[in-house]
Each structure stands twice: as structure tokens, then as C-alpha cells.
Chain A
Amino acid sequence: MKQPLTLRRLLWTCAALLVVLFGAVLVALKVGAVPISMTDLAVDLGRVIFGRTAQMQSDYRLIIFDLRLPRIELAILVGAALSVSGAGFQALLRNPLADPYVLGVSSGAALGAIIALIAYPGIPLVTPLSAFLGATATIAAVYFLGRRKGQLDSTTLLLAGIIAASFLSALIIFLMTTLSGRDMRGMAFWLMGDLSTPLQESLRWVFRVGLVAGVGAIYTTAADLNLIATGEREAMHLGVEVTRVKLVVYVSASLLTGLAVSVSGAIGYVGLLVPHMMRFLFGSDYRILIPTSAIGGAIAVVIADTLARRVMAPTELPVGAILAIFGAPLFLYLLRRRFA
């Protein structure tokens, strides 16, 4: 890191990480209740690429395309969204311990989900929509509460978010007591983060577009974020429009979190740990931190989800639990390295 960041170093790093992601995806495709050997997988992928999917064994086709691939894609989208969001919040709140949920977005989404469960139990589509609505409402509320003299202030925002999160959690617990046993177990899975429910096609497109838009928006402020990290006052005197940047980061990061949580529940540790790991590997420069966090987050969730599917097969563990088991000791290790 003695040399400043160049476009070349950025592209190389991303390319290397993409290779790792590709490897993780291949493993995830191969592994499952129905074992698919590498040769079969390679042959099938070949058939896919050359448009001869009709020749594939119909079992495999269903399993790979309707089950595994969508799930892997969901893992990639969620991992990328949460990691970038976490990196953004860490800059916005000037706090290395910030994660995507600290401002209450996940609690808002959970409340939306539980309300959908109670009010519209028969229509599964309502749950992610209602969760996203809850997330958006929370984002708006915390924004208005988190302002000081008309501008987003890091400390006030953090306090407002924590208060919102606790209040919403209390509501959620209250509502959970009215749930039946089955719904309560389902809700518990959701709260821990769960990728096992395939997402409707239309929602998948919303998520893809949302991810690109959100990450793109935050990335445009990457150079500004580097300066804000040395102090908002200094950044302003270096020409950064601090108010505008904070608003862009707040809205984008919150929406990314809202999208992720609406479809998969509150998967923990990704948003907190992946940015720190990427900082550890590649430095704190946001111009490289954001793309590497996105890819790194995708890798982490794909691997964790594969483990969640297989470790106690056929029982599915919630992916958030796997991430916590590996994430917590990793976090401790990083913490000690930092202060070594």
C-alpha cells in the first residue's frame, strides 16, 4: 500500500476475487442432496453454454437451474448488498463497529414480515414486499430523527437508529407471542437469515437492479468517503459536499440492506466482517473497498449457504448461524491483530 491506488491494481484485485467467487459457485453447484460429479457438471455447463439444454438429464436440469442456481444467485446478491452497505455505514457513522442493521432497517423489515404473516398468511408474495415496506418506513423515520440542524449527524443518526431498532424489536416480540408454533419457528428462521426459500422471478429482477443501482451510487462517492474518514470538517474544506455524500450513502446503504433483509431475513456478520477483512487485505481506500466488499461478501455467503445446506443434510441450518459460528472467532482474531 505504499503506492497509491491505481486503476490497474483495482481491476487486478477484482479479477482475482471474481476467480475465487467463480470457484465457490462451482463448488456450490456441485454439492447438494443430489451429488453431481465434476464431469457431469462440466458437461452440463457445456450443454448450457451451447444451447443444448434439452439434452440434459431432466433431473439435473431442474435441480441446477430451478433450485441451486437461483439460490446461489440470491446468496451472491445478498452477500454483496450487505457488505457494501456495511462498508457504507462504517464511513457514514464514523464507526468501525457499524453494520447494516445498526440503524434499525432489519427490525423494520422484520416487523413488516411478521405483519404479513399475521394479516396475509396465505399469500407468500406479500412477505418480502411488506418487509421492504417496513424497511423503507424505518429508513425515512430514522432519517428525520437523525438530523441535527437539518443535516445528518453521525452521532444523532446512530442514536436514532438504535432507539428505532429497540422499539421495533419490542413490537416484534409482542407480535410473536400471538403467532402459532409453526409461524414462530418460521419467523425465527427468518430472523436468523435464511436463503432456502426461492425468490419469485419478478422480485429477483428488482433485486438485481437495486443492487447495481445501490452499489453504483455508493461507489460514486468512494473518493469522497476516503476524505470524510479523515474528518468531515477537513473533507468539506477539501471540496467534498459532505451533506450530499452522506445522504447518498445513507439512502443507498439503507436500501441495499432493505432489499437483502426483505428476501432473506437478517443475515448477520457479513456486513460487519467482510469490509474489515477487505480492509485488512487491501487497505482502507474506499475505491477498492467497495468492489472488493461486494465480491467478498458474495463469496462469504455462497460458502456459508453451501455449508448450511450440507453440514447436517437434509436438515437446513440457517445461514446466519453458520456465519456467526465462523464469523465471531474471525472477528476476534481481526480485533487482536488490529491492536497488536
Chain B
Amino acid sequence: MSSGQNNVVVAMPPGKQPAWEATVRLNVEQASYAYHSRGNAAPVFTLAATSFTARQREIVTILGPNASGKSTLLKLIAGTLEPLSGRVELEGFETSRLSPRTRAQRIAMVHQESPLLFPTRASEYVLQGRHPHGRGLRFETGEDLKIAEEALAQVGATHLRDRWMHEVSGGEKQRVILARALAQQPILLLLDEPTLHLDIGAQVELLERLRHLASENRYTVVVVTHELSLAAEFADQVVLMHHGKCLRTGTPAEVYRRDLLEQVFEAPLDVEMGPEGRPRVHVRGARPPAES
């Protein structure tokens, strides 16, 4: 399967204006990686050379089942792993070559939250997002406080400001974590399976917020997920991963082909075109259709 090329003109669904702008911000070019277990010559897991690009205000989803190489690809983008071959460039700079501080000023990562060691308030948590921009002991300036407040407001969590992190609900915590990422004032926002523990309402809310933020703040957003429906609805570009290989990149309409999806997800699936050119995925039951 060939992957999408940089300069291919993508057929636009009728009536939809491009949400993204022309300049390429994130350039992933033939990036690959291999994990070796200690001492062994053969790699335990390989990510084959992958390429795609992303622009401002674009939401890219890296889609695939577990162990397809999604997280590895995300780490390459974040610059925490150095690609074995190829490169990952953010606005012309290779992400793995940047110092952690410079990286953190441009790239914000939203993880599943680790357990906190000591009780922390949400406001303090969000303020930590200003760390890459400070020096020395980093006593927060008025400017920092303002940015943190704004970040909380943008995720609709201003009311959570004085609450303890260990006391808020899952969805609220997710919002605060997102706010911290926003406080970094990044240009690239990365999220690793952000919808994992959320109910469907919270999931939709999160992705709508992301779409809004991407547009408002001109972020480039890359979301790793295995949620087919959400990706279909919210992604501008989909990177489909399977066993460490990128099978296809493109708009959801292009990537969501029944044969491709069934191969990748190993489940009986049906694809139909929905409104606004976004595909809808249905699960076909195990029983054969009742036919008389």
C-alpha cells in the first residue's frame, strides 16, 4: 500500500473549505525506529519508515489497534526518540536534536496521568506548564499566572482552579492536564490515547474542544487513538498504522476503506459515507445477515 505523498492534491469533499493553511509545519520523512531487547541482535519491534506532513490548525490522528507502533511514532514526533533513519522536523528543526527545554517550549504532550506524589492543586499543576519558559528557580511572574488562568478558561475548567488534583473526576482531570499543555504555549500539541478512560460524552467534548483550540490558537494537533468513529469525525488527516507499518495517510474518506480497516482491525466492519464527506463505520454482527 502506498502512503500519501507530500505534494498530492487531495480531493476535497464539496462545500468544505480547507481548515488548514498551506505551510507545512510538521514534516515526518521516512522516520523509522527499532526496539532491541538487551543484547539481542534482532529487534523486538520495528517501526517501518513512515512519512506524512501536517499544517497549522490541522488535526492528525494516528490510528491503529494496540501495538501498531502508534506510540512509537508519537515519541519520534515528540523528539524523545531519535529516528533510526529519516527525520522528523518541526518548522525546519529536527525534534530529536533540540534541547529538552526548547522542545518543551514548542511541543506539548498530553499523557495518561501518572499518580501524583504529593497533593497538588489544579492551579499549581497548570502553572507547571510554564516551566520551559522560566529560568532558575522559576518564581512565577504575573504573566505566567495570566497564561495559566487563560489555559484553564480555554478548557472550561476555571472553576477547578483551587481543587486538589486527587479529588477531581477523570474528565475534569483530563481537562486540567490539557490546560497544562496549553500553558506551555506550544505550536504542536500531542495527545496519547486521550479518550481512553472517558465516557462518550466526555470524549466528544474533548475532541470538539481540540478542534476549537486548533483553530483558535493555530495548533497542529496529533492524536494517537484507536477510536475509529471519533477519528472519522474529527480528524483532518488520518495515519493508519498496522504492525509497525503505515498503511495509508489521507483524509478519513480516503483512508477508511472497508478492506483496509478490516485488515488492520481484524473485525467485520462496514463503511459508509456520512454527511460532510466523513465516513461512518459500523460493526457487522457475527451472525450472517438474516436472509430467507
A-B contact count (CB 8 A): 89
> How many residues belonging to A are interface residues under a CB distance threshold of 8 Å?
33
Any A CB within 8 A of the CB of B116: yes
Contact with B along A220-235 (1 / 0, CB 8 A): 1011101101111110
A155 within 8 A of B: no
Q: How many residues of B contact A (CB 8 A)?
A: 38
Contacts of B103 in A (CB 8 A): 239
Bound-state Cα–Cα, A261 to B222, Å:
52
Q: Mark B180-199, 1 if CB is under 8 A from A, else 0.
A: 00001000000000000000
A287 touches B137 (CB 8 A): yes
B131 touches A240 (CB 8 A): yes
Interface pair B104/A237, CB less than 8 Å apart: yes
Contact of B118 among A10, A224, A284 (CB under 8 A): A284
Contact: A94 with B123, CB < 8 Å?
A: no
Q: Which segment, of B48-56, B105-113, B233-241, B269-277, faces chain A?
A: B105-113
Tell me, yes or no, whether B282 is within 8 Å of chain A by CB: no
Which of A6, A226, A237, A285 lies in contact with B109, CB distance below 8 A? A237
How many angstroms between the C-alpha atoms of A287 and B136 in the bound complex?
10
Q: A237-B109, A239-B101 are in contact. Are A223 and B124 (CB under 8 A)?
A: no
Q: How far is the CB of A54 from chain B (nearest CB, A)?
A: 45
B184, closest chain A residue (CB): A238
State in angstroms the CA–CA spacing of A279 and B117 once bound together: 12
Whose C-beta in chain A lies nearest to the C-beta of B129? A238
The complex places the Cα of A1 from the Cα of B119 at a distance, in Å, of 12
Q: Are A6 and B100 in contact (CB under 8 A)?
A: no
A2–B113 CA distance with the chains assembled, in angstroms: 22
Most buried by B among A4, A227, A232: A4
Say if the beta carbon of A241 comes within 8 Å of chain B.
Answer: yes
The answer to whether A42 has its CB under 8 Å from any CB of chain B is no
* Of the residues A5, A7, A91, A239, contact of B100 by C-beta under 8 Å: A239
Closest 3 CB pairs of A and B: A239-B104, A231-B114, A239-B132
Interchain Cβ contacts under 8 Å between A and B, 23 examples: A4-B123, A4-B127, A4-B140, A6-B140, A7-B137, A96-B117, A96-B118, A223-B131, A226-B128, A229-B117, A230-B116, A230-B120, A231-B113, A233-B111, A236-B100, A238-B104, A238-B129, A239-B100, A239-B101, A239-B104, A239-B105, A241-B101, A287-B138
Question: Which B residues lie at the A interface, using CB under 8 A?
Answer: 78, 80, 100-105, 107-109, 111, 113-121, 123-125, 127-129, 131-132, 134, 136-140, 145, 162, 184
**Given A230-B116, A287-B137; 14 other pairs, CB 8 A cutoff:** A2-B123, A4-B139, A7-B137, A219-B137, A229-B117, A229-B120, A231-B113, A231-B114, A231-B115, A232-B114, A234-B114, A237-B78, A241-B101, A287-B139
